[in-house]
Amino acid sequence: MATEHETVAGAAPGQPAPDGLPPGGSGGKVSRTTSAERRERAAHPGWFLAPALVVMVVFFFVPTVFNFVYAFTDWSSFKSEINPVGFDNFVELADSGTLFASLRITVVYAVLVAIFQNVFGLILAVLLERDTRLNRFARAAFFIPVLMSALAVGYIFQAFLKPEGALNALIGALVGHEVTTAWLGSTTWTIVVVALIHAWKWMGLSMLIYMAGLKTMPGDVLEAARIDGASPWKAFWAIRFPLLAPAVTFSVATALLGSMNGFDVVQATTEGGPARTTEILNIFIYRTFGQGLFAQATTMSLVLFLMVALFAFPVIKILRRREEIL
């Protein structure tokens, strides 16, 4: 249907359809499509879309455009006038090493979160697939962290992972001697621990997405595989997993892009430390904004935008393709 109307040709966008053409007149095809178009327009007037677009333009697109302007100024809380400074902010951030460090940390964090969240989510979905009472209870339990504030989750794990905290006490009881690992104190591994916490919070959502994907499986195909003697393990990887592809794309994309824009979990567990090794872009933005260095914060905000946009274009394409299939 879409393509038929897209080829409507002739009439320039925004021009009203030429009136007075008798339906089914000499230019048969053209007049038929334009009258269909006219009907379409009368039935679905464009002004219905206007309020949503106005809100998006004012509160989303204009600030984004501002990003491209104020990243090239010396806007700060220390003086009232704002002057253009060209690429100074970028040069400064690149020279101090902050720019690439934050970028690298953000990408590493996002990739780790996407992997953990989806592996856990998929395992849970397969484990809790059958519709039993216990499984329904377990699904609800794993959804609780999704409902909780990410900030609260961060504080919980900050307490849980303290050197003298509950996890070390448990491990100590198991191995029989005292354990005082500083789970959030390593400049190498803390980013992994924080990513695990982020994934813990959201794995319930991935679980639901994968469960929805598993539900669409054609039962007869699996039955056929079973009769042919395929082991459950093999049947899963050969039949079910490939059919899960749309769910995987969706869940991985949302996890990846969501954690690139993350803040709460990192702020509540490490505040970017130790030694700024977990300082993802939004932590930097928050910190420099608090110091009144608005232009630097804007510059990093623009960097985040550009990075996500780079990832996003392929993702939007995939999302739209997925919709066309359905």
Distance CA 246, CA 226 (A): 24
CA 134 to chain centre: 31
Task: Report in angstroms how near the CB of residue 254 gets to another protein at its nearest.
Answer: 8
Task: Report in angstroms how near the CB of residue 98 gets to another protein at its nearest.
Answer: 16
* Amino acid, single-letter form, for residue 125: A
Task: Report in angstroms how near the CB of residue 235 gets to another protein at its nearest.
Answer: 12
Comparison of 165 and 184: residue with beta carbon closer to another protein: 165
Task: Report in angstroms how near the CB of residue 188 gets to another protein at its nearest.
Answer: 24
CA nearest 188: which of 265, 258, 277? 277
Burial of 298 (0-12, 13-18, 19+ CB in 10 A): buried
Comparison of 76 and 277: residue with beta carbon closer to another protein: 76
Can you state the angle between helices 98-127 and 190-215, rounded to 10 degrees? Answer: 40
CA 82 to chain centre: 34
Distance CA 145, CA 198 (A): 10
* Amino acid, single-letter form, for residue 22: P
Task: Report in angstroms how near the CB of residue 186 gets to another protein at its nearest.
Answer: 20
Task: Report in angstroms how near the CB of residue 71 gets to another protein at its nearest.
Answer: 9
The CA-to-CA distance between both ends of the chain, in Å, stands at 14
Half-sphere exposure of 261 (CA within 13 A, CB side): 12
CA nearest 125: which of 205, 198, 196? 205
Task: Report in angstroms how near the CB of residue 239 gets to another protein at its nearest.
Answer: 17
Do the beta carbons of residue 318 and residue 249 sit within 8 Å? yes
Do the beta carbons of residue 300 and residue 285 sit within 8 Å? yes
Comparison of 112 and 281: residue with beta carbon closer to another protein: 281
Comparison of 178 and 188: residue with beta carbon closer to another protein: 178
